[in-house]
Chains A and B, each alone.
Chain A
Amino acid sequence: MPHTDSTHHDDQIGHIVPVKFLVLICALLLFLTAVTVWVSRYDFTEINIAEMGIITALFVATVKATIVGLYFMHLRWDRPFIGFIFVGSILFVVLFICIALTDSLAYQPTIIKGDTPKVTEAMDLLKH
């Protein structure tokens, strides 16, 4: 049977990564965390790019996630198909977020804010 076959188990053994290498990756991740903290202290409004802080933080976070995926999750040594599934899942999330946010951006001007007297009055009426 497939799952009792000894050859079936042999191909389950993954790539073994030396501990030293993993420690090195861990140190790199800590260093990148320090970079994020360091960047957050700067006020980029002085160079007229107020969003620079968040852009840098997101870029560093993306690099960190890629390193984790490649080395800690072994995608670097796994079959390309697994990487395809991983990237496909991320694209899937991106698709959802993009559509939801595009829509949200479009209807924002039509929203009556919750703390306006009209809404508060309606809510009070509902509660009583």
Chain B
Amino acid sequence: MTTTSTTTPQVFDNYLNHTKGIRSWLFTLDHKRIGVMYLICVLSAFLLAGIFAMMIRFQLLTPEGTFMTQDQYNQAFTVHGAIMVFLVIIPAVPAALGNFVLPIMLGAKDVAFPKLNLFSWWLWVFGLIFFLIALGVGGIDTGWTFYTPYSIDKASSMGGVIPALIGTFILGFSSIFTGMNFIVTIHRLRPKGMTWFRMPLFLWATYATAIIQVLATPVIGITLLLLVIERTVGIGIFDPAMGGDPVLYQHFFWFYSHPAVYIMILPAMGVVSELIAVHSHRHIFGYKFIAYSSIAIAMFGFLVWGHHMFTSGQSPLMNVIFSIITFSVSIPSAVKIFNWLATLYKGSISLNTPMIYGLSFIFIFSIGGLTGLHLATLATDVHLHDSYFVVAHFHYVMMGSALIGFLGGIHHWWPKMIGKMYNENWGRISAILVFIGFNVAFFSQFMMGSKGMPRRYATYTEMPEFQIYHIWSTAGSTILALGFVICAVYLLHSVFKGKRAPANPWGGRSLEWQCSSPPPWDNFAEQPEVGDCYDFSVLEWNETEQGYDWRKDVAHPGE
């Protein structure tokens, strides 16, 4: 053991106070500081996108629309979608939590390429700047998918398309560099004794995600570059008016963007594997199945992009092939769910904040995943396509699952990151509000979508029967927003006024719980010994420290 809670002094040298000044943060090579900077940036972007989400919801309170013109509404949902996808959900777990936790879980001092890691963060910042420029020079109204030929038509679409495309291109590089760094780190910096099947499941999920990031992201980069060339130079690639093929654009776009859904959800699943095991104090059930299912999801994820294009004019043969393969993705997803449930069975469950998020994830992802099967079925997809059913489905997966996993991860590792405990009661209240608010907001969208309410309409004067669902959805969004505000308040409060966190507040066994909270600058003075990271029987509650310690009658691994 490197550092134990019993020997931790009140103020000690850690990564937060090791060096001082803004430059020591902005140009740091320390993975933990880069992780924290990502976290701050991602949460700021989340706030911005959330404001646009609330604008959308309040616009739709009445069939005539409340305060936005149709053009403004188009901008609002485009900016909301683009920021949420490219700036928030994709980097949320891998870049923010992954950067902080991954090297410590490996017992390493840093990632394999610390400078590349910092460069990734700076690329994220430049990507954000280009998005802000896009808003300043006329906005974007193409939807986050930048579908052609609309996005190429300068006369119709707004002037911010090119800066937004460049911003997305840059963000793609940020994502590729992070993925590359994690692959090399996991391959090369695993400590002695940590074989592939002794790694925490979060690392398996991060590894599978990194493969997708490295393999799929270059395709979106090239696609968006072609779009910029087509829009500026006028070469016919995707625009049928110039001899191009708009369906080909959709192939290119979804070849990245469907695997991107797994870039969002896989690391969140990794977080949930940790949450469920640690907070039920029970050995994870079916370790190898969960590990392999991450890789299977990553692989299958590459073969199903065409299910986004069932109504695009894609050939009937391809529709059938993509439909069948899409069904197969549900198998590894279900493997995870069943294993989590089996882990909970007869576990000693602590219903604290991270666990509530973990359980929320299982509930919400089950609904999100199962409704995906409706959309994978050709006969039903034709009717549900471009309706609120689709909006609800992808929010259940991308927001309700990926972001809830992210929030669960933040709460799980917050004491480790900041060295302070947050108020557990407020944490629980907030998590329950988020769960209730989310389901009220988006289950009503399933209902109106299945009844025929189309997506992306600023007004629905001809369909007033849908108003009641929009009212419910807006009410749910407001509860959800309240949950987030409460969460922000108690987390910020904990930074300044929180109780000191012990090294191991939840009873985790992976290596990050063996160093102090917050971790020292170099994480570990000497390489820690690796044991079974899900064997919790060797830990016991220490009342004085208010955390878990190694049982005195049990030898440490390697002793």
On A, residues with C-beta under 8 Å from B are 1-4, 8, 89, 92, 95-96, 99-100, 102-104, 106-107, 110-115, 119-120, 123, 126-127
- Chain B residue nearest to A89 (CB atoms) is B215
Cβ of B189 and Cβ of A103 under 8 Å apart? no
Determine the chain B residues whose CB is within 8 A of the CB of A113 once the complex forms: 240, 243
Q: A92-B215, A96-B219, A107-B247 are in contact. Are A1 and B524 (CB under 8 A)?
A: yes
Cβ of B251 and Cβ of A103 under 8 Å apart?
yes
- Cβ-defined contact, B156 with A127, below 8 A: yes
Residues of chain A within 8 A (CB-CB) of B112 are 3
| Closest chain B residue to A2, Cβ basis | B189
Other A-B pairs, 9, CB within 8 Å; known A4-B109, A106-B317 = A2-B189, A3-B110, A96-B255, A100-B251, A102-B317, A106-B318, A107-B247, A113-B243, A114-B240
Interface size on B, residues (CB 8 A): 39
Q: Which residue of A3, A92, A95 contacts B108 across the interface (Cβ within 8 Å)?
A: A3
Residues from chain B with a CB closer than 8 A to the CB of A95 are 302
Main secondary structure of the interface of B (DSSP, over half): loop
Max chain B CB contacts within 10 Å: which of A4, A102, A104? A104
Contact check, A103 vs B314: say whether CB atoms are below 8 A apart. yes
Query: Contact at A114–B315, with CB atoms within 8 Å?
Result: no
| Chain B, Cβ-Cβ closest to A8 | B188
Among A100, A110, A126, the most chain B Cβ lie within 10 Å of the Cβ of A100
* A119 and B314 within 8 A (CB): no
Whether A103 lies near B306 (C-beta < 8 A) is yes
Closest to B303 in A: A95
- Interchain nearest-CB distance for B195 vs A (Å): 14
Residues of A within 8 A of B107 (CB): 1
Indicate if B248 sits at the interface (CB-CB under 8 A): yes
A23 to B306, CA, bound (A): 46
Report whether B318 and A102 are in contact in the complex, using a CB–CB cutoff of 8 Å.
yes
> Are B239 and A103 touching (Cβ within 8 A)?
no
Interchain CB contact under 8 A, A104 and B248? yes
Question: In the bound complex, do residue A104 and residue B247 qualify as a contact, i.e. CB atoms below 8 Å apart?
Answer: yes
Q: What distance in Å separates the Cβ of B176 from its nearest Cβ neighbour in chain A?
A: 13
Inter-subunit contact A111/B240 (CB<8 Å): yes
Residues in B with CB closer than 8 Å to A106 are 315-318
Instruction: Please determine whether B190 and A2 come into contact, CB atoms closer than 8 angstroms.
Output: yes
Q: Closest CB-CB distance, A4 to chain B, in whole Å?
A: 7
Is A114 touching B241 in the complex (CB atoms < 8 A)?
Answer: yes
Complex contacts, A4 vs chain B, CB 8 Å: 109
B17 within 8 A of A: no
Is B155 in the interface zone, CB < 8 Å from A?
A: yes
Partner of A92, one of B243, B302, B313: B302
How many angstroms from the CA of A110 to the CA of B302 in the assembled complex?
27
**A8-B112 Cα distance, complex, nearest whole Å:** 12
